[in-house]
Structure 1
Amino acid sequence: MVSVGGFARKIFGSSNDRRIKKLRPQVAAIGDLEKEMEALSDEALRGKTAEFREQLANGKKLDDLIVTAFAVVREAARRSLGMRPFDVQLIGGMVLHEGSIAEMKTGEGKTLVATLPVYLNALPGNGVHVVTVNDYLARRDAEWMSKLYGFLGLSTGIIVHGMSDEERRAAYACDITYATNNELGFDYLRDNMKYERAQMVQRGHAFAIVDEVDSILIDEARTPLIISGPLDDRSELYAKIDSFIPLLTEEDYEIDEKQRTATFTEQGTEKVEDMLREADLFKGEALYDVENVAVVHHLNNALKAHKLFQRDKDYIVRNDELVIIDEFTGRMMPGRRYSEGLHQALEAKEGVSIQPENQTLASITFQNYFRMYDKLAGMTGTASTEAEEFGNIYGLDVAEIPTNLPIQRMDEDDEVYRTVTEKYRAIVRDIKEAQAKGQPVLVGTTSIEKSELLAEHLLKEGIKEFQVLNARHHESEAQIVAQAGKPGAVTIATNMAGRGTDIQLGGNPDMRIEEELGDMPAGPERDAKEKAIREDVQRLKEQAKAAGGLYVLATERHESRRIDNQLRGRSGRQGDPGRSKFYLSLQDDLMRIFGSDRMDGMLQKLGLKEDEAIVHPWINKALEKAQKKVEARNFDIRKNLLKFDDVMNDQRKVVFEQRLELMDGENLTETVAEMRHDVIDDLVATHIPEKAYAEQWDVEGLKKAVRQSLNLDLPVDEWAAEEGIAEDDIRERITEAADKAAADRAERFGPDIMTYVEKSILLQTLDGLWREHLVNLDHLRSVVGFRGYAQRDPLNEYKSEAFELFQAMLANLRTAVTEQLMRVELVREAADAPPPQTPEGEGHHIDATTGEDDFGGDTMTLARNETQVVAPEQRDPNDPSTWGKVARNEPCPCGSGKKYKHCHGAFA
């Protein structure tokens, strides 16, 4: 029975079919221009770029140029690369230009497809970013496609790990920039920590095409990019809070060992509040008020450290150091630390030296980074299973692009065994058979551990000729993948997403030529050898085809259908033959999700013998349902994380926009005056309440506050004693005195120095408070989940309290800037100092699947500051250039007697 929807699709085609059909006339129009383009000389073809730019300047839109521009790129690709884009590649290019995701099967030439919309969108001169999953692919694709862009008069840049700011700036200034998602995100964060526009490297976010879009925007987007740096030493606070925990009784807290949580009871909360008051660490009315968010975070950590973590089981103490023990292997993990202050709480508990914790200096999720682009597009072999997420989060729709040649691959039904052992025996048998008949095999596993286990099984069975691919992205990996299509080759791989290299039957001739001929000079001898290699590859290709093409053999279903489809898609490229099959057992992770115990019992009753498998389309359907459930759960987790990050993102935008305004501001006197007046209004409102009688005024408190905040000794008490004086009169007199003091200072310094001083203090104070605010938000996020127990929505609680914290941060900014600028006499000579440096920090991105830091062991230092520490006796007090690196709390080398951070360090 055919459903109504199915019947309609048969007659009218799916929405995807209709979308592709609409683009066909443009493809035909591009084809009609082919002869005309072929007739042009190289110069005339290159001249089209200037012609298009002139048309855009005269009011034409990019959409008006699409047919001619694509025809130009097609001809230029034929001349510069020896590749002519197929009609389906033109369709892919149009979909990308529309700002959508083009789902194209492996081997359909996505790298070339991207050049069509990249060229068109680079014409306005705002820069186009092509985003890849690793440095190797960024470099390879840029070097390969720059021949085409260069032929048409456009410049190409590459951003990879380890480049200097100057190199990055030059790469971003190019018409087209190839880079990885991590580098783009870190550059954005670092730019928003700079103190001058000229130091920034990016120049905007106009258009980006994301290669392997599902890997970058979904898999990697599960964790944010973070720049972190060490916090000030707070060991006293940790030690003080740690001393409270032994004073508590069992009625004061509740422990849930299964969930690894520890919480205070009502009685415990009251007890802790009293202890905090005594220690002068308590603010507000109640422990869980927003002002106490950091203290609550430290208290929770201290309780966990004492009640959930055991010495010599979870960690050991040696050489005044606390070392974590891996719960799975029992091995020590030196260098690894618990995050968010938990490690410090354990150090305080054990009485060892407390190492300062790292604080987040800046962070952003990939979702929020890529949503900044005016137009975003992506390409991958597998996107349709995640179409809902792409639509909801990024506003991207998915179009399936037809293949150039019909797919010949046979996707066989899964084989299900009762045990893992039986499954592996069947896999080894199948690999042996395929290898014997010369069929190349790609074996997909879900983890490094499982790939090594299978390798052991193969060695035991006497199969020695195979390659194991389980390292993270690397150049040698591309070569292994490129040759995995040779007859009889066996390649075991963990996850085939984002390899960026086709598995060609017979092997990849270009890579073989590069490997075997290397630096051999051009000439008849090299030409002859190249020809021989190409002929050999062609012969091997026919052999592999005759054996049935590439056989993709998967040892397990992945949580996501998309990863399974990626693996399958490696076989059957460009109309080649191929086959794929999944081997499963009831002991696999996914099979356990939907009750394999019942199925196991049923199969035994049915008399399933050892080494027998069940093969049925129903099993495939049941597995697909299980995968859909897991995908939906993972999507919900990502959506929830994003909701929390959106709160911070709104604040991040405000702060970053404010920084840019401050950097661009030629004269900040008005901004500073506004802040000063707001501070005066707050001071007067605090000490002279509205409609209060004169005898209720806190005149002495106001006088002190004016001295503290404005550095002015004013006769406030005398003014208040005058007959009939109102609060407005006092406010005006304080404002007048403060404005005069500020004007006198500006006159003494001169306008240039004053602007520099104001800008430096504003930016550095804003940055310092923003970092403290990020720490508070981290702490708030870690404790807000407990509000759920009180039937309150943690997200709404987080939103309202994060807003309160943000308002408090802005109020602190006004006060701190005013206080510093009213005392700035000491730093006149520092105006000749170089602009402030980006603070030192490290880049981190945790791989959501392995839990490892992508930058672990190769930490990205974000401040390229070579300043060394100089011995005090070698410093000249009158020459700041001889001081080297000065610690923030050290006495200032100028001899003022102040701490460095309150003197020259205020903006050095």
Structure 2
Amino acid sequence: MVSFGGIARKLFGSENERQVKKYRPRVDEINALEPEIEALSDEALKAKTDEFRAALEAGQTLDDLLVPAFAVVREASRRTLGMRPFDVQLIGGMILHEGKIAEMRTGEGKTLMSTLACYLNALPANGVHVVTVNDYLAKRDSEWMGQIYSFLGLTTGVIVHELDDDERQAAYDCDITYATNNELGFDYLRDNMKLDVEQMVQRGHNFAIVDEVDSILIDEARTPLIISGPVDDKSDLYVAVDQLIPLIAPEDYKLDEKQRTVTFTEEGNEKLETMLEEAGLLKGGSLYDVENVSVVHHINNALKAHKLFARDKDYMVVNNEVVIIDEFTGRAMQGRRYSDGQHQALEAKEGVQIQPENQTLASITFQNYFRMYDKLSGMTGTAMTEAAEFGDIYKLDVVDVPTNKPVARIDEDDEVYRTVEEKYRAIINLIKDCRERRQPILVGTTSIEKSEFLGEKLREAGINDFQILNARYHEQEAYIVSQAGVPGAITIATNMAGRGTDIQLGGNLDMRLERDLEGLKGKALEKKREEIIAEHAKMKEEAIAAGGLYVLATERHESRRIDNQLRGRSGRQGDPGNSKFFLSLQDDLMRIFGSDRMDGMLTKLGLKEDEAIVHPWINKALEKAQSKVEARNFDIRKNLLKYDDVMNDQRKVIFEQRIEMMQSEDLSSYIDDMRSEVVQGLVAQTIPEKAYAEEWKLDELKAGVEQYLNLDLPVHEWALEEGIDENDVTERLMEAADKAAVERRERFGPDVTSYVEKSILLQTLDHLWREHLESLDHLRSVVGLRGYGQRDPLNEYKQESFALFETMLASMRQAVTAQMMRVELVQQAADDDSFGDLPDMEEMHFDYDEDGDMIEYEDGQAGDYGRAIVTPQRAQAQEERDPQNPETWGKVGRNEPCPCDSGKKYKHCHGALV
């Protein structure tokens, strides 16, 4: 029976089809302009950019210029790259320009499509960011597509890891900048740790196009980017705790694979207490005494490391280091680490060197970073399954762009076997069949372990001519992928998301030419080129005749999107192809979702060995299971975002205040207001309202005045002998403090005073913000327990984090006032820009794994940010310095021995800022 919705779709088309239809008239207008634009000379075509910019200044909008601008880019692409964007690519460009997500199948030309929206949105010269998943793609796309922009008079920059600040600033100043999501986020955080606006590298967040938008905004959406510094080494504790876990029996803990959790049972806790006491690690009588919180945390991490994390699936050991494997891409995440001590627990488990933990200095999630852009858009081959999340979190609509040619790929029903052994036998048979027919086959697995297991099975079957593409062979990735369409090729891949290289039938001609023509010249080069081109054409025909690329998946992923990414590798640009998933009731997804009952039922029905169940209903049932997992993961990400939104509001206040401070020439009003609030707070704290003078806390008031104002004032005499009230006390304190501040400003001079005030304000703000981040981390880790008391953890977090924020601001007023009332002018070397000893800082990208644990992604050194109060002086020769007379010292380097002969460094002696 056909539903009413089905009849409506047949009559009026789906909502997506109606949306796409709206773009068709503009496509026709662009096509109508083509003869006119084609007739222009290169110079006239390039001059169009200035013409468009003049039109914008005259009051036209980007929408007004879309049709001619797209026509110009199409022609520039044809002249520079030899590629003319298809009509569907024009539609995709319009979708990006509107701030939406364009879902476009693999091989349909997303990279070229993005140039249309990039060019149009770069015309106002406010900067366009194109976000890629790795440095290789950022470099490749900036050089490749940069030819179009350069031809049209626009500048192109690229941000990669090794650039310094000057190079980054130059790249961000370009009209169009290519960069990875990590680099953009870290630059934003680093900019908000700078001491001068001129040092900041980014120039705002105007428009971003996110490539592989599902990977960046969904898979990594649980991901705070972190800049951190090291804390104390606890490696001995990790090792000691790790040695206890092998002594734990299965009945001592409870493992839930579905929820990815593992906890100790009551018996396990008792056994642990005994073992910890014997090992000398337990303080007090009980494991759950407050002084044992740290030990409990370490024990839980060690248990997870042994029972939840599997080597060569979740991580691998390379060069004596534990390296995380990305569950979505199957790639090694070199240098990236689980946080909160989990990575150290894995290092202890594997017996490799344990790296120290880190303290957060600055952080932001990708969700909150990318929501800062005035306009955000994205492109990918698979976004429809996550459309609800894109709409809810980012307010991004997803539009499915039709393919240039109809999809000819045949998606076959899944084959479900009872056991893994039966499944692999069927897979080997299909691979053999494809090999005999010379049909290229791409085999998708979910882990390194399984890809290498399949490799062994193939060798046992006498098949050795296959390629394995997984985290271990990351370096050869692009070439292996490019040649996976050669007739008879067998390629085993852990995951195909965001590879950035198309699989073309017959192999990728350009990459083959680049590799095989290297070093050849003249006639030899031309002859070889002709041979390769002829051979490629023949192989393409052979691959098409054999049925195109066959995609064989060895099991289903938790996410339908990952399965679709693998499927989408076949059938590009109307090519033929097949896809099929092979499953067994022992696969993780099937086992977790209750395959035991199904196994019993199939046995009763008489399913024989090596027989498979094949039915569309099975596919639908599996997709329902996958959608449940996706919904659960979405809830996790959404919940994490709610907590991060609380911190993000505070982050925005702090970062805006920092920039305001850096831009201000005179911060004396800030300092005066802070001093006034400190005085009023002191009086309110020590003189109760309407209290007699005998009830005043005068000792506390006097101590506070000395601590924060650096003044010795007769507050006892004022109160007890002169009989003044609290308003008079406040007035006298303010008068004395203002007088001392004015004297100090006059002694320093306006320029030095301004520099001192700015330095102290920024340093104090940064220091207290770091402490505040640590407090929020601790609050976050315990607030969930409030749920047991029938209180909403999120509301509790909001209230307490706001109170902590207020406390931080009060502490800042007190600290800044105390420093400003004590600071003295010091002399220091003009070329020595250190102020205090700051720890080395590392960039980290946190992710949450399936059981809610953070992953830190360490992406290199963030560098030292030296802070200084500098008053340049002429250097004096050592023999001219009188240790008793500082006026004879001239400028002294902060790390030099102090000229007073104390034996200390100057910065710790006369050069100290107190």
Give the TM-score normalised by structure 2: 0.85
Q: Who is 1:859 aligned against?
A: 860
1:140-199: CA deviations, max 9, x gaps? 111101111000001111111121111111111111111111111111111111111111
Q: CA deviation at 1:530?
A: 2.5
Q: Who is 2:530 aligned against?
A: 531
Report if aligned partners of 1:325, 1:333 keep a CA contact under 8 Å in 2: no
In the alignment, the residues of structure 1 paired with residue 312 and residue 527 of structure 2 have an alpha-carbon distance, to the nearest angstrom, of: 58
Q: Who is 2:872 aligned against?
A: none
* Structure 1: 5+ residue stretches without partners: 243-254, 265-294, 315-323, 348-352, 868-873
Alpha-carbon distance change, 792 to 306 in structure 1, aligned in 2, over 3 angstroms? same
In the alignment, the residues of structure 1 paired with residue 207 and residue 150 of structure 2 have an alpha-carbon distance, to the nearest angstrom, of: 20
Alpha-carbon distance change, 441 to 754 in structure 1, aligned in 2, over 3 angstroms? same
Report if aligned partners of 1:53, 1:123 keep a CA contact under 8 Å in 2: yes
In the alignment, the residues of structure 1 paired with residue 507 and residue 300 of structure 2 have an alpha-carbon distance, to the nearest angstrom, of: 59
In the alignment, the residues of structure 2 paired with residue 550 and residue 331 of structure 1 have an alpha-carbon distance, to the nearest angstrom, of: 34
Q: Who is 1:614 aligned against?
A: 613
The answer as to 2:780 corresponding to 1:781 is yes
Alpha-carbon distance change, 303 to 599 in structure 1, aligned in 2, over 3 angstroms? closer
Report if aligned partners of 2:301, 2:342 keep a CA contact under 8 Å in 1: no
In the alignment, the residues of structure 2 paired with residue 732 and residue 831 of structure 1 have an alpha-carbon distance, to the nearest angstrom, of: 41
In the alignment, the residues of structure 1 paired with residue 473 and residue 395 of structure 2 have an alpha-carbon distance, to the nearest angstrom, of: 29
Q: Who is 1:425 aligned against?
A: 425
Matches within 5 A, 1:661-672: 661-672=660-671
In the alignment, the residues of structure 1 paired with residue 530 and residue 391 of structure 2 have an alpha-carbon distance, to the nearest angstrom, of: 48
- Bigger CA drift: 325-334 or 841-850? 325-334
Q: Who is 2:843 aligned against?
A: 843
The answer as to 2:517 corresponding to 1:517 is yes
Alpha-carbon distance change, 262 to 407 in structure 1, aligned in 2, over 3 angstroms? closer
The answer as to 2:209 corresponding to 1:216 is no
Report if aligned partners of 2:780, 2:797 keep a CA contact under 8 Å in 1: yes
Q: CA deviation at 1:631?
A: 0.5
Q: CA deviation at 1:861?
A: 3.8
Q: CA deviation at 1:343?
A: 10
Q: Who is 2:197 aligned against?
A: 197
Report if aligned partners of 2:92, 2:102 keep a CA contact under 8 Å in 1: yes
- Bigger CA drift: 577-586 or 641-650? 641-650
* 2:221 counterpart SS class: helix
Letter in 1 for 2:863: L
The answer as to 2:112 corresponding to 1:112 is yes
1:460-508: CA deviations, max 9, x gaps? 1011111100027955211111111000001000110000111000011
Alpha-carbon distance change, 189 to 472 in structure 1, aligned in 2, over 3 angstroms? farther
Q: Who is 1:62 aligned against?
A: 62
* 1:125 counterpart SS class: coil
Report if aligned partners of 2:263, 2:300 keep a CA contact under 8 Å in 1: no
Matches within 5 A, 1:112-191: 112-191=112-191
Matches within 5 A, 1:771-850: 771-827=770-826, 829=828, 834=833, 840-846=840-846
* 1:221 counterpart SS class: coil
Letter in 1 for 2:294: N
Letter in 1 for 2:590: M
Q: Who is 2:9 aligned against?
A: 9
In the alignment, the residues of structure 2 paired with residue 722 and residue 20 of structure 1 have an alpha-carbon distance, to the nearest angstrom, of: 86
In the alignment, the residues of structure 2 paired with residue 838 and residue 70 of structure 1 have an alpha-carbon distance, to the nearest angstrom, of: 51
Report if aligned partners of 1:136, 1:475 keep a CA contact under 8 Å in 2: no
Q: CA deviation at 1:70?
A: 0.2
Q: CA deviation at 1:630?
A: 0.6
Give the TM-score normalised by structure 1: 0.85
Alpha-carbon distance change, 136 to 884 in structure 1, aligned in 2, over 3 angstroms? farther
Q: Who is 1:320 aligned against?
A: none
The answer as to 2:428 corresponding to 1:435 is no
Alpha-carbon distance change, 537 to 847 in structure 1, aligned in 2, over 3 angstroms? farther
Q: Who is 1:704 aligned against?
A: 703
* Structure 2: 5+ residue stretches without partners: 241-251, 256-260, 267-287, 323-336, 348-352, 869-877, 884-888
In the alignment, the residues of structure 2 paired with residue 360 and residue 561 of structure 1 have an alpha-carbon distance, to the nearest angstrom, of: 35
1:658-716: CA deviations, max 9, x gaps? 11011101100000000000000001111111111122112232122101110011122
Letter in 2 for 1:198: E
Q: Who is 2:277 aligned against?
A: none
Alpha-carbon distance change, 459 to 297 in structure 1, aligned in 2, over 3 angstroms? farther
Letter in 2 for 1:860: Q
Q: CA deviation at 1:789?
A: 1.3
Q: CA deviation at 1:354?
A: 13
Q: Who is 1:50 aligned against?
A: 50
The answer as to 2:400 corresponding to 1:400 is yes
In the alignment, the residues of structure 2 paired with residue 327 and residue 556 of structure 1 have an alpha-carbon distance, to the nearest angstrom, of: 15
In the alignment, the residues of structure 2 paired with residue 355 and residue 551 of structure 1 have an alpha-carbon distance, to the nearest angstrom, of: 44
1:752-782: CA deviations, max 9, x gaps? 1111100000000000000011111111111
Report if aligned partners of 1:883, 1:893 keep a CA contact under 8 Å in 2: no
Alpha-carbon distance change, 682 to 199 in structure 1, aligned in 2, over 3 angstroms? same
In the alignment, the residues of structure 2 paired with residue 496 and residue 804 of structure 1 have an alpha-carbon distance, to the nearest angstrom, of: 47
Report if aligned partners of 1:49, 1:153 keep a CA contact under 8 Å in 2: yes
Matches within 5 A, 1:731-746: 731-746=730-745
Number of equivalenced pairs: 834
Q: Who is 1:387 aligned against?
A: 387
Alpha-carbon distance change, 839 to 8 in structure 1, aligned in 2, over 3 angstroms? farther
* 1:421 counterpart SS class: helix
1:123-149: CA deviations, max 9, x gaps? 111111101111111111111011110
In the alignment, the residues of structure 2 paired with residue 7 and residue 832 of structure 1 have an alpha-carbon distance, to the nearest angstrom, of: 78
Report if aligned partners of 1:136, 1:474 keep a CA contact under 8 Å in 2: no
Q: Who is 1:31 aligned against?
A: 31
Report if aligned partners of 1:383, 1:562 keep a CA contact under 8 Å in 2: yes
Q: Who is 1:450 aligned against?
A: 450
* 1:502 counterpart SS class: coil
In the alignment, the residues of structure 2 paired with residue 576 and residue 377 of structure 1 have an alpha-carbon distance, to the nearest angstrom, of: 29
Q: Who is 1:551 aligned against?
A: 550
Letter in 2 for 1:447: S
In the alignment, the residues of structure 1 paired with residue 796 and residue 847 of structure 2 have an alpha-carbon distance, to the nearest angstrom, of: 29
Alpha-carbon distance change, 558 to 776 in structure 1, aligned in 2, over 3 angstroms? same
In the alignment, the residues of structure 1 paired with residue 527 and residue 319 of structure 2 have an alpha-carbon distance, to the nearest angstrom, of: 56
Q: Who is 1:411 aligned against?
A: 411
Report if aligned partners of 1:826, 1:903 keep a CA contact under 8 Å in 2: no
In the alignment, the residues of structure 2 paired with residue 885 and residue 202 of structure 1 have an alpha-carbon distance, to the nearest angstrom, of: 36
1:35-71: CA deviations, max 9, x gaps? 1101111001000111111111111111110000000
* 2:824 counterpart SS class: helix
Matches within 5 A, 1:82-481: 82-231=82-231, 300-304=293-297, 340=340, 357-471=357-471, 474=474, 476-481=476-481
Alpha-carbon distance change, 622 to 670 in structure 1, aligned in 2, over 3 angstroms? same
Report if aligned partners of 1:892, 1:898 keep a CA contact under 8 Å in 2: no
Q: Who is 1:290 aligned against?
A: none
Alpha-carbon distance change, 257 to 591 in structure 1, aligned in 2, over 3 angstroms? closer
In the alignment, the residues of structure 2 paired with residue 398 and residue 667 of structure 1 have an alpha-carbon distance, to the nearest angstrom, of: 48
Report if aligned partners of 1:208, 1:376 keep a CA contact under 8 Å in 2: yes
Letter in 2 for 1:11: L
In the alignment, the residues of structure 2 paired with residue 776 and residue 750 of structure 1 have an alpha-carbon distance, to the nearest angstrom, of: 39
- Bigger CA drift: 701-710 or 551-560? 701-710
- Bigger CA drift: 413-422 or 723-732? 723-732
Root-mean-square deviation over aligned CA pairs = 3.7
Q: Who is 1:508 aligned against?
A: 508
In the alignment, the residues of structure 1 paired with residue 909 and residue 6 of structure 2 have an alpha-carbon distance, to the nearest angstrom, of: 74
* 1:129 counterpart SS class: strand
Alpha-carbon distance change, 334 to 677 in structure 1, aligned in 2, over 3 angstroms? farther
Q: Who is 1:675 aligned against?
A: 674
Letter in 2 for 1:19: Q
Alpha-carbon distance change, 473 to 790 in structure 1, aligned in 2, over 3 angstroms? farther
In the alignment, the residues of structure 1 paired with residue 609 and residue 523 of structure 2 have an alpha-carbon distance, to the nearest angstrom, of: 61
Letter in 2 for 1:642: L
Letter in 2 for 1:590: L
- Bigger CA drift: 744-753 or 473-482? 473-482
Q: CA deviation at 1:300?
A: 2.1
* 1:499 counterpart SS class: coil
In the alignment, the residues of structure 1 paired with residue 602 and residue 450 of structure 2 have an alpha-carbon distance, to the nearest angstrom, of: 26
In the alignment, the residues of structure 1 paired with residue 265 and residue 812 of structure 2 have an alpha-carbon distance, to the nearest angstrom, of: 34
* 2:438 counterpart SS class: coil
- Bigger CA drift: 839-848 or 511-520? 839-848
Letter in 1 for 2:684: A
In the alignment, the residues of structure 2 paired with residue 13 and residue 882 of structure 1 have an alpha-carbon distance, to the nearest angstrom, of: 76
In the alignment, the residues of structure 2 paired with residue 408 and residue 330 of structure 1 have an alpha-carbon distance, to the nearest angstrom, of: 39
Letter in 2 for 1:714: L
